[in-house]
Structure 1
């Protein structure tokens, strides 16, 4: 994606269109408008977050951190995401809306679109690095241009290992050398803009997970059989 998307998200006026149904937190479809044009985005205000016992308020920061981490790796898995202080319902994340067929998701892609498997396996790797607690099947989209995306990263980066995902089909597969080279720098230092959105323990745990991946060289295996989100889709 080009800089136009980030300009619209960062500088555009934000108009509420309506609430997106079946979200555990209040999530809204909005239209962002600027001199460069207009587009749809997904708005997640802090004020709409349900209280959680294991995550502090401010999940929108984790949405932004996931985008920045994906960009730092050069993977482009997460749609452009910014934090907006001035928005209709207060501070929150604003993410570029992916035009897609919402009947497609991880399960259908894995079964019906083997050409996506490489990208799906990379999302599995990203989810381990970011300690994603909520990778439902519906959080994997294929855009109208064929590109595969991961969305909904508000429950990532916990210092405690909480990985829950539907993507276990690649468990135990060797991680390609190119991807190991991509993540290797994270073992020593996490990008400063990501660090700014997390706490010290979370950053330390991220580096520890990367070191384990570099040591083992394979995608993680769920030996408990219980590391699934609910609902699955």
Structure 2
């Protein structure tokens, strides 16, 4: 996928006619792959009308939460989430996000993977041990990678309730991207993630500096933009989570009975 500053006009993402070329059938909500006609751009399109209602996320839309999550990622300067907008598409308004191209059949384990318990790769952190469908013990692991760590910190801010292994992608440009942020930014604690390998460890000064700038920006124009998609209570909770990280700059430990989304991939 091309980044937002690689010479592809934003008009392709915002205004180009979308032609559906496929569907992600494993997604919980309608997720379509489209070509932006005349722009040489592939996108993911999730129409609002294809969302399944969630009792614990009654406000706004999942598409709006995806856009709000992108705005947070951009405001903090981390670029973790591909460019995401809310616009009209073939099936009405929905979220449109730049597609991420990843290397096919890359050697070695994925950023998040399952491996035999006695074969945790060097440079990976073990999150938990379990049994695979065949009854064999396996370890859930993720890369000890600063790009992935930054995503894990962002997930704490976003209160991401669904960071699965398949939602962390290594692009051909060498960057690590996070996708699928429809159930983020709730006002109540909802963090569920496969990226628990840094639990209890300090957050670096560079990331804390970015968070400081972000928290200061929230009451201004940024907060106004987020208010298009979130409630005031949810925006206040976002600021509270940011301040909490600054006051205690340590990655949280799991506190709920369901700290990992299921399925994990």
Q: Same fold (TM over 0.5)?
A: yes
Higher helix share: 1
Matches within 5 A, 1:9-88: 9-34=13-38, 37-56=39-58, 58-84=61-87, 86-88=88-90
What do the CA deviations read for 1:183-225 (whole angstroms, capped 9, x no partner)?
1134344213223321100001011111110111111111446
1:143 to 161, 164, 171: 171
Matches within 5 A, 1:204-223: 204-223=236-255
Structure 2 CA distance for aligned equivalents of residues 97 and 15 of structure 1: 14
> CA, structure 1 residues 66+163, in 2 after alignment: closer, same or farther (shift >3 Å)?
same
CA contact (8 A) 1:5 1:96 kept: no
Single out whichever of 102-111 and 195-204 deviates more from structure 2.
102-111
Give the structure with higher Rg (CA).
2
Aligned equivalent of 1:174: 202
RMSD: 2.1
Aligned equivalent of 1:196: 228
Structure 1 segments unaligned to the other structure (5+ residues): none
TM-score, scaled relative to structure 2:
0.80
Single out whichever of 211-220 and 185-194 deviates more from structure 2.
185-194
Structure 1 CA distance for aligned equivalents of residues 258 and 104 of structure 2: 26
CA contact (8 A) 2:44 2:99 kept: yes
TM-score, scaled relative to structure 1:
0.91
Aligned equivalent of 1:107: 112
State the aligned residue count.
230
Structure 2 segments unaligned to the other structure (5+ residues): 115-119, 125-142
